[in-house]
Amino acid sequence: MNKKTRNIIIIAAIVIVVVAIGGYQFMKSYMGNKVAIEQVIPAATSTESSATASGASATGEQLNGDWKINTDASKVYFSVTTSQETVNFVDNKVTGNWNINVDDPTKMVAEGQIDMSAIDSGTAQRDEHVKEADFFDVAKFPQATFKATSFEGLPTTWTEGATNDFTMKGTLTVKGIAKDVTVAGKAVYKGGQILLSGTTTVTFEDFGMKNPHSVVLSTQNDIGVQLELTLDK
């Protein structure tokens, strides 16, 4: 092997290493999870139920009536799990109204709207991709909605600062496609506000989206949806 050939091989090897490192760093930046889920109900509070708490009772007058989602203190999260990690997307443009009736949950009404243009994973290129037509198609469907149809498990008596577990059924509409979902929820009355946390699971196919599975990265079909809401009267 002459000197010229050896130099060409060395240069080619260096280029390959540089490209590989750059590609890895780009992929790591593009794929990495950069959003931590912020829960409105502190972990210590979520373990204390109204049945065991020693705080003051919240009256029907305090709880019943019309409540509005506090946009500044409410978020919705979407989570996708790949073969490497779980990636969270957050949307902080959430609006809506709840009418609470702890004396007769059959009369309760709840609805919310999510501005899908605000979805954020901390990576601009990834965010633009999920807003395109093959995923959320935000240009055509800028808003997702949820409307509750029933509530189960809420007690008639609440204790301030204590957690109340409940189940909420309703309809989630994304890309103009309605899907019945069941939300496992927790509710706390504290400081004149109601804090709500709830989770449910949907799939890509539920809303006409293809699973972004690839040769180098597998993606679970489930999409986790987590509500972290603060309600004001």
Q: Residues 52-66: pLDDT tens digits?
A: 555 789 998 999 999
User: Coil, strand, or helix at residue 60?
Assistant: helix
Q: Which amino acid is at 13?
A: A
pLDDT tens for each residue of 127-159: 998 999 989 999 999 999 999 999 999 999 999
What is the structure's pLDDT at 219? 85
What is the structure's pLDDT at 215? 47
Whole-angstrom distance, CA of residue 227 vs CA of residue 87: 16
Q: What percent of the chain has pLDDT over 70?
A: 80
What is the structure's pLDDT at 53? 56
Average pLDDT of every residue of the chain: 86
Q: Per the structure block, which two tokens stand in for 107?
A: 């009369």
Q: Give the domain 34-232 fold.
A: Lipocalin (2.40.128)
CB 127 within 8 A of CB 88: no
What is the structure's pLDDT at 64? 97
Which residues contact residue 4 at a Cβ distance below 8 angstroms, ignoring those fewer than 6 apart? none
Question: pLDDT at residue 194 above 50?
Answer: yes
- Owner of token pair 């509500």: 227
What is the structure's pLDDT at 42? 86
Enter the pTM of the model: 0.83
Whole-angstrom distance, CA of residue 163 vs CA of residue 41: 8
What is the structure's pLDDT at 214? 61
Whole-angstrom distance, CA of residue 205 vs CA of residue 175: 12
H or E element, residue 198: strand 193-203
Question: pLDDT at residue 40 above 70?
Answer: yes
What is the structure's pLDDT at 29? 42
Query: Which has the closest alpha carbon to 153: 183, 109, 195?
Result: 183
Instruction: Give domain limits for the chain.
Output: 1-31, 34-232
H or E element, residue 67: strand 65-69
pLDDT tens for each residue of 94-128: 999 999 999 999 999 999 999 999 999 999 988 99
